[in-house]
């Protein structure tokens, strides 16, 4: 059974879910794939990991890079998890392109090329927004593209991190 709670953020309501031990979901209200990994059985209940996540978000939205990460366990395919692991390697305040991630996957797999579109699909299905920083992925030409939570939120998240210098 999942435990859920909703919190208000500067960018709108956020739904958090947990299996009781780890964070399993963090979605902005109305975002694409909202609650996609949430089980049918869930109860509104604060558990320690949800409280830790709320503290993390408070630090983040105050403009500081959080100094801890709550335990998390996103549900996804092996390929999606590979992409999400690469997202976790993007430093706070920096961005990479979908092509950069595709090139890294190609390198890991010993391929000459890998599909940026496949990467984009995996990024879009990230069930733990912000903490797994899918907002730090931009288009090849440096434009803000594709964010399940909406481009305006993506812009605000990047601005909060100081990475909107030339965008």
Confidence at 167, pLDDT banded by 50, 70, 90:
very low
CATH number, domain containing residue 143: 1.10.10.10
- pLDDT given at position 164: 67
Question: Is pLDDT at 38 greater than 80 in this prediction?
Answer: no
Q: Is the pTM of this model over 0.95?
A: no
Catalytic residues: 134
Same domain, 111 and 41: no
Q: Does residue 21 sit within a domain?
A: yes
Same domain, 17 and 53: yes
Asked if residue 144 lies in contact with residue 167, where contact means CB atoms within 8 angstroms, the answer is yes
> Residue 35 sits in which domain range?
2-61
Task: Tell me how far apart the alpha carbons of residues 143 and 128 are, in angstroms, rounded to a whole number.
Answer: 23
Determine whether 162 is exposed, middle or buried from the number of CB atoms within 10 Å of its CB (0-12, 13-18, 19+): exposed
Q: Does residue 71 sit within a domain?
A: no
Same domain, 95 and 34: no
Same domain, 56 and 130: no
Classify strands 96-97 and 137-138 as parallel, antiparallel or unpaired: parallel
CATH number, domain containing residue 49: 3.30.160.70
Lowest mean pLDDT among 26-30, 104-108, 131-135: 26-30
**Long-range interactions of 57-64: CB distance < 8 A, separation 24+:** 57/7, 57/9, 57/14, 57/130, 60/130, 60/160, 61/9, 61/10, 61/11, 61/160, 63/160
Give Cβ neighbours of residue 133 (< 8 Å, ≥ 6 apart): 87, 88, 90, 92
Query: Which residue from 41, 49, 45, 127 is spatially nearest to 83, judged by alpha carbons?
Result: 127
The count of structural domains within the chain is 2
């Amino acid at each position: 059974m999942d435990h859920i709670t909703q919190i208000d953020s500067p960018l709108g309501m956020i739904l958090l879910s947990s299996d009781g031990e780890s964070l399993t979901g963090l979605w902005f209200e109305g975002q694409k794939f909202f609650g996609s990994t949430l089980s049918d059985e869930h109860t509104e209940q604060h558990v320690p990991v949800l409280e830790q996540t709320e503290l993390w978000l408070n630090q983040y939205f105050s403009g500081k890079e959080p100094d801890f990460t709550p335990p998390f366990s996103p549900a996804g395919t092996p390929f999606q998890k590979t992409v999400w692991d690469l997202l976790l390697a993007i430093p706070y305040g920096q961005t990479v392109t979908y092509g950069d991630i595709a090139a890294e996957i190609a390198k890991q797999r010993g391929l000459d090329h890998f599909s940026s579109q496949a990467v984009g699909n995996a990024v879009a299905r990230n069930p733990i927004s912000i903490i797994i920083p899918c907002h730090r992925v931009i288009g090849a030409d440096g434009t803000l593209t594709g964010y399940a939570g909406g481009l305006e939120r993506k812009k605000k998240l990047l601005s909060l991190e100081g990475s909107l210098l030339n965008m």
